[in-house]
Amino acid sequence: MTTNKKIIISHSGADNYQKALELSNKINIPMQQIETDDSICLLVTSSGLQIIAPAISKKPFELNLTKLISEFQKQQEIKKHPLSMAIGLKKKKCLIYDMTAGFIKDSCLLAYLGHKVVAIEKNPVIYEIAKSAQEKIKDTSPKLDLSIVNADSINFINKHQKPDIILIDPMFPKDKKTALVKKPMQILQAITTGENQSENNLMKAALLNATCKVIVKRPKNGPYINDKKPELQITNNQSTRFDIYLTSS
């Protein structure tokens, strides 16, 4: 793993020792007692993975996709979400690759809209957190057509079927407003600190492989990736902009 942060694995109760040991061997992260410094601990519990990051939050963090999906269900206007609008409201079920899966919130929205989504995440810790959260929504209704892959998405897309649509959400550059970033995003940033986000290469690979369009999530006033002007843009009232590049001929 290439990260500057100290990441450790621990477990709650003797019952979870074996699972924690297997995870430790799988992703090559040491098992240790939880510390109170700025390390990040992946805590294996009977109900899934929790993240203890004292430097970010006093409370343990658990990625709760059940709550996220029930929020989608409550929102009558989910089709007016800027990402839904960027995808378009065609009835056709599209194959979508999310090249920067992270905590798979965007992937869940796309799958909730009825598409087949492959969420690709290269960081093994983030992948395990997302996978553990996904296990819990396997039987929720509607059943999401969502799979998660632990791979570098540039390698992955060169070896697999070309998707209709590709989503890229590279880490936003840190600015003076970093303090405003929500806690889950701070955890994601802390775990992936020091990794090359390779957004220019992600963009090049996406444009070569998507048969319909590439959607790039950007800070509202951020520069275009590779200085490439999109054909369309959708901006919400908050901090995000979606740049849309049409690739169909």
Ligand X SMILES: C[S@@+](CC[C@H](N)C(=O)[O-])C[C@H]1O[C@@H](n2cnc3c(N)ncnc32)[C@H](O)[C@@H]1O
**Site of interaction with ligand X (CB under 6 A):** 99-100, 102-106, 120-123, 126, 152-154, 169-171, 188, 192, 197-198, 202
Least CB distance to ligand X at residue 133 (A): 11
**Of the two residues 16 and 57, which places its CB atom closer to ligand X in the complex?**
57
Determine the Cα–Cα distance for residues 137 and 5; give it in Å rounded to an integer.
Answer: 30
**Of the two residues 122 and 241, which places its CB atom closer to ligand X in the complex?**
122
Least CB distance to ligand X at residue 39 (A): 19
Determine the Cα–Cα distance for residues 73 and 75; give it in Å rounded to an integer.
Answer: 6
Partners of 219 in the β-ladder: 240
**Of the two residues 42 and 99, which places its CB atom closer to ligand X in the complex?**
99
Whose CB is nearest to ligand X? 102
**Of the two residues 11 and 108, which places its CB atom closer to ligand X in the complex?**
108
Least CB distance to ligand X at residue 33 (A): 27
**Of the two residues 11 and 217, which places its CB atom closer to ligand X in the complex?**
217
Least CB distance to ligand X at residue 108 (A): 8
Least CB distance to ligand X at residue 188 (A): 6
**Of the two residues 11 and 188, which places its CB atom closer to ligand X in the complex?**
188
Return the HEC string of the chain: CCCCCCEEEEECCHHHHHHHHHHHHHHCCCECCCCCCCCEEEEEECCEEEEECCCCCCCCECCCHHHHHHHHHHCCCHHHCHHHHHHCCCCCCCEEEECCCCCCHHHHHHHHCCCEEEEEECCHHHHHHHHHHHHCCCCCCCCCCEEEEECCHHHHHHHCCCCCEEEECCCCCCCHHHHHCCHHHHHHHHHHCCCCCCHHHHHHHHHHHCCCEEEEEEECCCCCHHHCCCCEEEECCCCEEEEEEECCC
Least CB distance to ligand X at residue 17 (A): 28
